[in-house]
């Protein structure tokens, strides 16, 4: 009896799988950069583009939520200070919409606050991958984003 893991795969199934993988490979990696500072948002978007992403910026809580209701992203970068609202407001809203997108916190907040925020994110089931201080090390950010992009490319397509 053949082990199910070694059983031959029908050619039609292999062709369908190959087509799905090609579609996934053709879909560009995307990042939503949520930061109220125009210069920081521009720098983060350019850094993400250099890492192979299509970047979209959002300056406010409302703009970020509108984009998240219309699009899905490979990764989100999140500043913890957003003027009238803050990163925690965004995080709670992400939970409310069932967001499973990896998050990278990029914030000028002190290390203790960033650490507490990462711990809270885990408790509310958000996927915070990294917490980087501002001014951000752009080479490190590119590596972090590239790692998330590569990981997402290997995940099975569900649909």
SS3 34: strand
Residue 3 lies in a domain: no
- How high is the pLDDT of residue 103? 98
Residue 138 lies in a domain: yes
- How high is the pLDDT of residue 153? 83
* Burial annotation 127-142 (CB, 10 A radius, 16+ → b, else e): ebbbbbebebeeeebb
Query: Which CATH number covers residue 79?
Result: 3.40.50.2300
Residue 15 lies in a domain: no
As averages over each run of 10 residues, the pLDDT of the chain (159 residues) reads: 41 40 62 97 98 97 96 97 91 96 97 95 96 97 96 66
What is the pTM assigned to this prediction? 0.81
Q: List the domain range (segments joined by +) for residue 36.
A: 26-153
Work out how many domains the chain is built from and give that number: 1
Residue 87 lies in a domain: yes
Alpha-carbon distance of 130 to 141, in angstroms, equals 9
- How high is the pLDDT of residue 26? 55
């Amino acid at each position: 009896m053949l082990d199910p893991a070694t059983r031959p795969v029908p050619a039609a199934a292999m062709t369908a799988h190959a087509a799905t993988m090609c579609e996934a490979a053709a879909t560009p990696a995307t990042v939503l950069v949520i930061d109220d500072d125009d210069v920081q948002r521009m720098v983060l978007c350019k850094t993400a583009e250099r890492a192979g992403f299509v970047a979209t910026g959002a300056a406010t809580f409302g703009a970020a939520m509108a984009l998240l209701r219309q699009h899905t992203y490979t990764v989100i970068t999140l500043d913890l200070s957003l003027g009238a609202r803050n990163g925690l407001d965004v995080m709670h809203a992400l939970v409310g919409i069932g967001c499973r997108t990896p998050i990278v916190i990029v914030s000028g907040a002190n290390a203790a606050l960033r650490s507490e925020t990462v711990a809270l994110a885990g408790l509310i089931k958000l996927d915070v991958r990294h917490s980087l201080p501002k001014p951000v090390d752009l080479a490190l950010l590119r590596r972090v984003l590239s790692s998330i992009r590569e990981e997402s490319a290997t995940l099975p397509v569900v649909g």
